[in-house]
Structure 1
């Protein structure tokens, strides 16, 4: 008969739970200890109830997947739900557990606000200590790097249950765990408030741009200029695109290549009124180059795209030789009637987009606006000199708005870095919350081990 295994003593289990000095990532306060994650949390790998049983799905029990963990500290909603039958065949993860993605986006964490279950891409840590203290440490860069170092891969990197259990955790005394959580959440709340204001600035650029263009094309922006230059308010007139353009030319229908002599601009290269010179295609077809070669100042209209993007317009500034593809139309405008930049700005205005929505024809996944419809669109035209002034003012105002937007985006990025820094300091005992007089976390570890 095989010998019966002897149960380990508390001291033996304690030695297994502690991380040897040579494996400890960094120094922590003297009354903290480095432990294996598996000693202070039960690690559970999720699974997917068989899709052969549709009765398992469509209920109210959350079935979490990696994308759901983007909710972070407040992970509540799931992308799919199980029925009571599905719940019975699943491992239930209690609320206040930390779900960690261990395949694909390794290290992404979500704190479960209600009980649920997960798919097999997630390992959940069911805590035996302060649940939020555990969650916040599992969000640190140090833990994520530890987890990544444990990953094994054949076709895709994966961290299994036992590997996650062996990860190191800096265990503070129980009271210190609560103080750490309170300090983190206090600091994060202030950062989140600042982040919300900054996000509003970053997100409102499109609104502010639309307001600037509205003022420009109703004459409000240049009201003082007209007064100073003796230009009448009655000098504005309405003309159709067909009246200010000698022709509206469709681009080449021939297939482009990954290399060639000349760039072929496609609908993806028209971005925010300018040409985006990334993701380029090329041609060496001499006939097409001669027929469709662009000149600096040419305005390109995107006639076929998704419903929300059809009609986007950009101006070509001659950065490099280029022709244009068939989904685009070149507007050959009369330079003695309209300024190219003025036309470009107006065709990207809210008024123009409203028109596109009215006249577009919809296919299965794309919308189209033909040359006839473009030609019928009316635009307000001041004198050429006022058009130049309008373009100058728009350029100046939008440059300021972009600068404010970029500053907000940079500040947003710095907030995320600050959060990472706070977490790093928290689990080094550097937030000023640790009390050296408190009993060592070693006693807490003994208690946790004795209870399990």
Structure 2
């Protein structure tokens, strides 16, 4: 029997009282002030919380990323500090404790403890128990134009109200666990970042040490720009395809597999990618992702579409080219040829002007072999990090659930 179990047995020998949301809380919906009234959104002093606040700053919040003017308040005024906001439509299964008077958008239902219960409830305890409510919400949705929680049943969901001494003890334990989890996450991410920087430095050093001519890409390769192929063209089967957006979200330096296909009749109108070609994303919303490259090392032809260029250099090593296009020197060179603000592009004719090292094929393969080994190490670390974090988080959630499970008053003991 752990400390909390002993406390419950001592202070609640007959079990713990449970109360439905509709009895324990005042519930109100958040809202978005009219965007057409600019005065609501200027010189704001009222914190207005959205899902972005939780994603960016966690589940216990005292400041909002956006504020609105007091004139935007409805008759009910601000929601009081110590309330819980629960996502009950669209993105379901998240919540936050708000430690300031506030507003929030319509995606949230606001739970404010009723006056007669305030002295019996610790806000942080309600915050931790709301993780149980999150799971319930995910399993109790109604489908219309978008998912939403069954609010009639939501109001019947019950919260336990153990004595304050028990609430305080649980909060103290879970706060420590939360801090330990955050520290572990920071340590693992710092280790991964250090290894990645190490790898990038070594990769760039290998290319800088090459004693060979540097010549424009267009002098030894043919560049073919793709067109068409919206995602709506994707099919369950057909000809393998790589969409430009997948290059910087789904693939690394090289791939032998695709995750998309297009029908054969549509494939005939697209740029063909032969084994040993390199596909480049010409366009992105940020400079970092422009000219991200992936070498196609599969054993059959595939296709690509708009905003992508195929580098055809059959006399060179495709992975060598792709690795070089990840170096600091290449990224510095591409900046001189990038244009655009919201959408940034490097045209094939400008990509063709960028100089590449062209050592003998044996040297290209030597460097590729070295970088493959480093890349494998970095990939295993980046895959191991989420796995380690997930395992620790699962342990934490299991322990949290155990702490938040109480015998119900009236049930057989």
Question: What residue number does 2:176 align with?
Answer: 186
Question: What residue number does 1:64 align with?
Answer: 49
Residue 236 in structure 1 maps to residue 203 in structure 2: no
- Structure 1, unaligned runs of 5 or more: 1-27, 220-232, 431-439, 443-452
* Alpha-carbon spacing, 1:268–1:88, altered in 2? closer, same or farther (3 Å): closer
Residue 379 in structure 1 maps to residue 365 in structure 2: no
Question: What residue number does 1:310 align with?
Answer: 290
Residue 177 in structure 1 maps to residue 167 in structure 2: yes
Deviation per CA, 1:21-47: give whole Å up to 9, x if none: xxxxxxx97442222233333333334
Asked if the contact 1:205/1:405 (under 8 Å) is kept, the reply is: no
Question: What residue number does 2:373 align with?
Answer: 396
Residue 349 in structure 1 maps to residue 327 in structure 2: yes
C-alpha separation between the residues in 2 aligned to 1:119 and 1:328?
39
Count of aligned pairs between the two proteins: 383
Q: Which has the larger radius of gyration?
A: 1
* Alpha-carbon spacing, 1:205–1:43, altered in 2? closer, same or farther (3 Å): farther
C-alpha separation between the residues in 2 aligned to 1:151 and 1:254?
38
TM-score by length of 1: 0.74
> Which of 250, 256, 265 lines up with 2:224 in the alignment?
250
- Structure 2, unaligned runs of 5 or more: 1-11
C-alpha separation between the residues in 1 aligned to 2:34 and 2:160?
38
* Alpha-carbon spacing, 1:61–1:218, altered in 2? closer, same or farther (3 Å): same
* Alpha-carbon spacing, 1:375–1:76, altered in 2? closer, same or farther (3 Å): same
* Alpha-carbon spacing, 1:429–1:182, altered in 2? closer, same or farther (3 Å): farther
C-alpha separation between the residues in 1 aligned to 2:32 and 2:266?
54
1:97 Cα offset (Å): 1.6
Asked if the contact 1:173/1:441 (under 8 Å) is kept, the reply is: no
What is the root-mean-square deviation in Å for CA atoms of aligned residues? 3.3
Question: What residue number does 1:447 align with?
Answer: none
C-alpha separation between the residues in 2 aligned to 1:334 and 1:49?
59
TM-score by length of 2: 0.80
Deviation per CA, 1:68-111: give whole Å up to 9, x if none: 33344322332432223224644322222211112222331111
C-alpha separation between the residues in 2 aligned to 1:237 and 1:109?
58
